[in-house]
Chain A
Amino acid sequence: METLDIELPRMALLYGLCLLPWLLLWLIGLRLSRDIGISILRMSIQLALVGIYLKMLFNLNNPWLNGLWILIMLLVADLSILRRAGLKVRYFAVATFMAIASSILFSTAYLVILVIQPAYYYDARYIVPLAGMILGNCLQGNVIALERFYSALRKNENEYTTFLMLGATRWEAVRPYFRDAVKAAINPTIASMATMGLVSLPGMMTGQILGGSEPWLAVKYQIAIMVCIFTSTTIASIINLKLSLAIAFNAFDVFKDEVIEKR
């Protein structure tokens, strides 16, 4: 069963649908034409590029090329996590990279090699979308973990110092903030697993069904991806925070202000 193609004239028809919201927004006095135009244009160009390189990746299906693609994704995610968490790249780049790389590689390998077992474990058709989806969600979790942890620490610096003065080690003194940060990082995943299928149909499952898969097969893949997202987000945020503890404090356990990006 092949998915029906959308030919160019009908793509134009599709863009035409945007005229309706645009008109409505204009009528209620929201002048967003520029923003809307730029957003639609960006989406189209970016996805077209993704289409081009995915097509190339799939055609060549070279293990090194697939590996390189994952490496680039990890590097981009690394920088994006630190920028969004407000931490200086020069201090944390290696720690964050190690945290996300180890957890993504582990959970993707587990899923592909042990569970799905394709003929070639490096098959772009499996590792590219799966690693990408896991990474995208893992990224969100790590931004939340780092951001929460370091803002809680700065806000409660007095309390942290009190813990130290009362005989806590660095780890004992940060533990309350550490736990809260990890909880905040994984909560969205836990909540989304709990409501999956009730509130909305998950994107990957919808995509597979449109692509001609049996709903039952799509369900199994959706469960697989959720379990992997949950696993990798938990592992990555814990490793990431743990590694950052060795970076963000001086030898006297005092938090180093200079590791935070001043905004």
Chain B
Amino acid sequence: MTPIIRFDQVSVTVHEKTILADISFALFPGEKAVFYGKSGAGKSSVLRTLLGLHPITLGTIYFQEQPLTPLSVQTIRSCTAYIGQEPMMGAENVRDALLLPFQFKTYRDHRPTEAQLIEVLHRLQLPVAILSQDSNRISGGEKQRIALARGLLLGKKLYLLDEVTSALDAESKQAVFDVFSDPQLTVLSVAHDPEWLERCGIIFELEAGRLTQVKRHGNS
């Protein structure tokens, strides 16, 4: 089996400040990994670098063993769902936000049916009525779940999650855990939440842009 993501001695310097230094790790399909560390340790930068949002100073990132280049970045982005702490909806109401990616050429022919929309909302413990709500009026936790629903509708297999359970109540959190108990889905996340850490098979500890410790649980 080949890794889905592999960092090979990756360093990133932005405005003469080193944000990642000599990071190497591999993630295999179906694995759930989390980056853990103080704020400013570079956790989110790992996710953003993988998406081509920070230029790599040294080393190489491989996605399905293909190096990250301007040409391959589109593939990585189309296979990946990135969900930040306060996801942008990008549309006036929730329905349009969910359907937003389907107006882009890549997904134009994969528009989900109403039944599929409702099904995904149920999975994430969101009421159907939220579809007609104004995007500015929904809570941070709801936004995160809408962003997650968008990833599921797009059939993404790799999820980059930045503190995705931080704004959720116990019930919604459970719904998110249930989604990611699917062994098909690969997760690379950033979190502080002990419950989330417990559910991740691999814990990477970051300190000042360096990988200081890797812990593996047997229960994933």
- Asked whether, in the complex, the Cβ of A166 is within 8 Å of the Cβ of B104, the reply is yes
Q: Which of B99-129 contact A (CB under 8 A)?
A: 100-101, 104-107
Report the bound CA distance from A162 to B81 in whole Å.
Answer: 10
Q: A168 and B70 in contact (CB under 8 A), knowing A159-B88, A252-B55?
A: no
- Chain A, 237-263, contact with B by CB distance < 8 Å: what is the 0/1 string? 000000000000011111000000000
Report the bound CA distance from A217 to B150 in whole Å.
Answer: 61
The answer to whether A126 has its CB under 8 Å from any CB of chain B is no
Q: Which of B51, B78, B88, B105 contacts A158 (CB 8 A)?
A: B88
Candidate in A166, A168, A252 with the most chain B CB atoms within 10 angstroms: A166
Q: Is the interface of B mostly helix, strand, loop or mixed?
A: mixed
- Asked whether, in the complex, the Cβ of B78 is within 8 Å of the Cβ of A252, the reply is no
Q: Which of A158-173 contact B (CB under 8 A)?
A: 158-159, 161-169, 172
The answer to whether B63 has its CB under 8 Å from any CB of chain A is no
CB distance from A114 to the nearest CB of B (A): 38
- Asked whether, in the complex, the Cβ of A252 is within 8 Å of the Cβ of B73, the reply is yes
Report the bound CA distance from A120 to B108 in whole Å.
Answer: 54
Using a Cβ–Cβ cut-off of 8 Å, how many residues does chain B contribute to the interface with A? Answer: 24
CB distance from A163 to the nearest CB of B (A): 6
Closest residue to A156 on the B side, CB-wise? B88
CB distance from A196 to the nearest CB of B (A): 35
The answer to whether B87 has its CB under 8 Å from any CB of chain A is yes
Report the bound CA distance from A251 to B71 in whole Å.
Answer: 8
- Asked whether, in the complex, the Cβ of A250 is within 8 Å of the Cβ of B90, the reply is no
- Asked whether, in the complex, the Cβ of A162 is within 8 Å of the Cβ of B87, the reply is yes
Q: A172 and B104 in contact (CB under 8 A), knowing A252-B55, A252-B70?
A: yes
Closest residue to B69 on the A side, CB-wise? A251
CB distance from B207 to the nearest CB of A (A): 26
Report the bound CA distance from A165 to B47 in whole Å.
Answer: 12
Report the 6 A-B pairs with minimum CB-CB distance, sorted nearest first.
Answer: A251-B70, A252-B52, A166-B101, A167-B106, A162-B88, A159-B88
Known: A165-B82, A166-B100, A169-B104. 4 other contacts (CB 8 A): A158-B84, A162-B88, A167-B77, A172-B104
